[in-house]
Amino acid sequence: MNRLEKESYFQQVDKHQISLNESNNEEKEEEDDAICCICLDGECFNSNVILFCDMCNLAVHQECYGVPYIPEGQWLCRKCIQSPSNAVNCVLCPNQYGVFKQTDNNKWAHMICAIWIPEVHFANTVFLEPIIGIENIESARIKLMCYICRKRNQGACIQCSKTNCYTAFHVTCAQQAGLYMNIQEYSEDSNNNDKIKKVAYCDLHTPGDSTKNLTNTENEEINKREQTKRIKKVRKILSERQPTLLIPKLSDKTKTNLLHRMSNRIEKKKKFLELCINYWLLKRKLRSGVPLIRRLQSPIIFKKPPTSSSKVNSQKSNREELREQLFYWKKLRQDLERARLLMELIRKRERVKREKIKLNEIIYNYELKPFQIFLLNILDKLKEFDKLKIFYNPVNIKDVPTYYQVIKEPMDFNKIKNNIDSFKYFNF
C-alpha cells in the first residue's frame, strides 16, 4: 500500500511539472475559467482573489469564504481540515456538494444556505464562521417542500420573492437549477446607509424574460411544459451528482515498474498486483480520496505560471496597496475590539453565574440541614467574643503540662466545628 501511495504521488508530481513546462513554453495569457462556488462569479481583484483548495480543488473568493489574507504555501478549506476522509451533510439542505463550514454545534452547513436563509447568519463577519441561528429557523420553513428535489423536512427552504407566489426551493437546488438569485444593495435613508435585499424567483417569475411573464392560457401551458422538462433535467442531475473524489490512477509504465520490482517467489504477479491496486482504490474511496499516508495528504504546492490577472495586479500602484493594507488593519482592529467586548461579557456572565451558584448552595444548606446552620451561626457569634483567639485551637501541653490532668474533656472551636460538620449534635 505504501509503494502504491508513493508511486501515485510521484506520478502527480511529474504531471504537474510537465504541465508547468508546457504552460511556460506556450506563455498563455488567458486565465483559467475559475468560478467561485459561492457567488458563481469569475472576476477577481488584487484584494479579492480566487483561492483553490489543495485537496478538493474548491474555488472560492477571499471575501466569499472569509479569508482576510492569502496564506503562504498551501491552503485547505475547512472541510478538508476538519473532516478530510468523511463525507459531511448540510443541516439546511439535502445536497452533499458545495462549500461547507461548521455551525456552533459542530455540525456542517453550506455557506450559500447560510447566506440566503433569513434566520441564519455568521458569528464573525470577517472570517464568516461559525454559522449560528439554525435553532431560530421556523418549523413552517422546514416543513416546506422543495419543488425541484421534492423533499420535505430535509433542511430549510426559501420562497419565491414574487407576491402571491409560495413556491419553495432549497438554496443549493435553486443554484443548480439556475434560478434567478440576486443580492441587491440599496440606500433607504438620507445618510446613505446601504442595506441588503435578497431576491430569488422561481422558474415562472424570473425577471427580464418576456416569455415567462405571461397572461394567455395557451402561453402558460407551453411555459409549464418547458418548466417541467427543465426541472426533470435538474432532478436527474441532483440525483446523479455526488461529491467529487480524488481517486488516483496509475499509468501502465508505473504498473510495469512495480511488476519488475516484485520478487519471483510470488505466483501470478500480474493478478496479485491488480488485486492490490483494486483494494487500494477501495480504501481511497472509503476515505473520500484522501491518501493513506498522512504526510502525503497535503500535496506540494507548485508555482503557477503568471497569468494576465497577475500581470495587471503587479502593475498596480503602491498607493492602492497601502490603502488595502490600512483597510485590512482597520478590519483587524475592529475584530479585536469585538473580541475584547465579547470576553468582557463572558467575564460578567461567569461572575453572575458564580454568585448564583453560591446562593443556591446556601438555599440547599438551609433546606437540607437547618439545625447545623443554626449551630454554625451560634459558633460564629461565640468566636466574636474570643478576640484573643484563645479557644480556637487545643491547649498546648508544653505551655500547660497539667492541663489535661485537670480537664478530662477538653474542647475548642475547631473541634466543635468538626463535630457540627460530622452531624454529632442532635439537639441544642
Fold of domain 88-242: Herpes Virus-1 (3.30.40)
Which sequence spans correspond to the domains of the chain? 88-242, 338-421
| pLDDT tens profile 66-84 | 888 877 777 888 888 888 7
* CA 278 vs CA 85, 287, 335, 399: distances in Å: 19, 14, 50, 90
Q: How confident is the model at residue 288 (pLDDT cuts 50, 70, 90)?
A: low
| pLDDT tens profile 161-212 | 888 888 999 999 888 888 888 887 766 554 555 577 888 988 888 776 544 4
What's the half-sphere exposure (Cβ side, CA atoms, 13 Å) at 117? 31
* CA 422 vs CA 4, 84, 379, 415, 426: distances in Å: 70, 57, 15, 11, 11
Right CATH for 338-421 from 1.20.920.10, 3.40.50.12780, 1.10.10.10, 2.40.50.140: 1.20.920.10
* Biggest CA-to-CA distance, the chain: 120
Tell me: cis bond preceding 401? Omega within 30 of 0 counts: no
Q: How confident is the model at residue 284 (pLDDT cuts 50, 70, 90)?
A: confident
Q: Which three cell numbers mark 55?
A: 485537496
What is 364-413 written as a DSSP string? HHHHH-HHHHHHHHHHHHHHHH-TT-SSSSPPPTTT-TTHHHH-SS---H
Q: Strand pairing of 158-159 and 168-169?
A: antiparallel
Question: Mean pLDDT throughout 328-347?
Answer: 89
Domains 88-242 and 338-421 share a fold: no
Amino acid 96 reads: Q
What's the half-sphere exposure (Cβ side, CA atoms, 13 Å) at 91? 17
Question: Mean pLDDT throughout 117-134?
Answer: 90
pLDDT for 111:
92
The region, left, alpha or beta by phi > 0 then psi within -120 to 50, assigned to residue 106 is: left
pLDDT for 93:
92
